[in-house]
Amino acid sequence: MKIEVFDDQKILHRRAALVIAAELTTKSAPVLGLATGGTPVATYQELIRLHREEGLSFAHVRSFNLDEYVGISYEHPESYHAFMKRQLFDSVDIPDDAWQVPDPNNSEMLARPSLYDELIEAAGGIDLQLLGLGNNGHVAFNEPADSFSEWTTRVALTESTILANSRFFDSPDEVPREALSMGIASIMRARKILLLACGESKAKAVKAMVQGEISAQCPASVLRLHRDVTILLDRDAAMLLEA
């Protein structure tokens, strides 16, 4: 794991955007794995700036998102489909049919979620997977558990994730209880992984991910077994790490 710690979040997001931009400019058909949540928003803003001001093009990109809630439609503003349109895809030149999220409205995918992994494989596999980190150590909706999930699957959200995500809804009751989520094997197959974590609320999970036991109780800890992972942290997220 390469770990970089930043005093200034703006520089962290600029660095993240440049790692993504490097995939776009060096590959003829890059496949991205993208994430939702509060953390990547500033990275997406920087990518939009690079598109508008420096000619970064998404015209040749394929993108697969990590997860999507079950039980709300794509039109719901907090669906991850709507999030990605609003935060990135409506503002860059990616073709509409070149990006997708796991689709709970597709009955075939809901019945057999690993169909999503087959679509990723058919596209050539993910070159760069962007990840956030849950306060509880989750990546995508792979929550702390007794064993690692493998491929894309239908998952129940834990109480701590429902609470963390309730800030995007009017109340915790409105947060969907289930999601389709890429599994740990789906994520580990990416050729390169970039994880971003900011703020004190992530410090315990960062410590467990980097210096704790590799365990399904901290799903992100498994990333230590991947050969090309870069972690970008702000000072607060890094505060519990021992040198």
Cα–Cα distance between 206 and 202 in angstroms, integer? 6
Binding flag, residue 37, ligand PGA (CB under 6 A): yes
- Out of 12, 20, 133, 205, point to the residue binding ligand PGA (CB under 6 A): 133
Strands, E, within 80-236: which ranges?
99-100, 128-131, 153-156, 178-181, 192-197, 229-234
Amino acid letter at 72? I
Which of 138, 142, 165, 234 is catalytic? The answer is 138
Which of 13, 46, 51, 67 is catalytic? The answer is 67
Of 60 and 76, the one with the shorter C-beta distance to ligand PGA is: 76
Which of 65, 136, 142, 165 is catalytic? The answer is 136
Binding flag, residue 132, ligand PGA (CB under 6 A): yes
| Burial category of 36 from C-beta neighbours within 10 Å (exposed 0-12, middle 13-18, buried 19 and up) | buried
Of 6-14, 34-42, 69-77, 179-187, which segment contacts ligand PGA by CB under 6 A? Answer: 34-42
Contacts of residue 11, defined as CB under 8 A and 6 or more positions apart, other chains included, come to none
Binding flag, residue 134, ligand PGA (CB under 6 A): yes
Distance of closest approach, residue 108 Cβ to ligand PGA, in angstroms: 27
Binding flag, residue 92, ligand PGA (CB under 6 A): no
Of 16-24, 51-59, 116-124, 130-138, which segment contacts ligand PGA by CB under 6 A? Answer: 130-138
Binding flag, residue 183, ligand PGA (CB under 6 A): no
Strands, E, within the chain: which ranges?
2-6, 31-34, 62-65, 67-70, 99-100, 128-131, 153-156, 178-181, 192-197, 229-234
The pair of three-digit structure tokens given for residue 25, joined into one six-digit string:
């400019």
Binding flag, residue 38, ligand PGA (CB under 6 A): yes
The answer to whether the CB of 139 falls within 8 A of the CB of 187 is yes
Burial 194-220 (b: 16+ CB within 10 A, else e): bbbbbbeebbbbbbbbbebeebbebbb
- Out of 39, 100, 186, 221, point to the residue binding ligand PGA (CB under 6 A): 39
Amino acid letter at 143? E
Q: Is 67 a catalytic residue?
A: yes
- Which residues are bridge partners to 194 per DSSP? 130, 230
Phi, psi dihedrals of residue 123, rounded to the nearest 5°: -85, -5
Of 102 and 134, the one with the shorter C-beta distance to ligand PGA is: 134
Q: Which residue is nearest to ligand PGA (CB)?
A: 37
Distance of closest approach, residue 55 Cβ to ligand PGA, in angstroms: 28
Touching ligand PGA, residues 1-20 (CB under 6 A) = none
Of 48-56, 128-136, 174-182, 220-228, which segment contacts ligand PGA by CB under 6 A? Answer: 128-136
**Residue 29: Cβ within 10 Å count:** 10
Residues with active-site annotation: 67, 136, 138, 143
Question: Footprint of ligand PGA on this chain (CB under 6 A)?
Answer: 37-39, 132-134
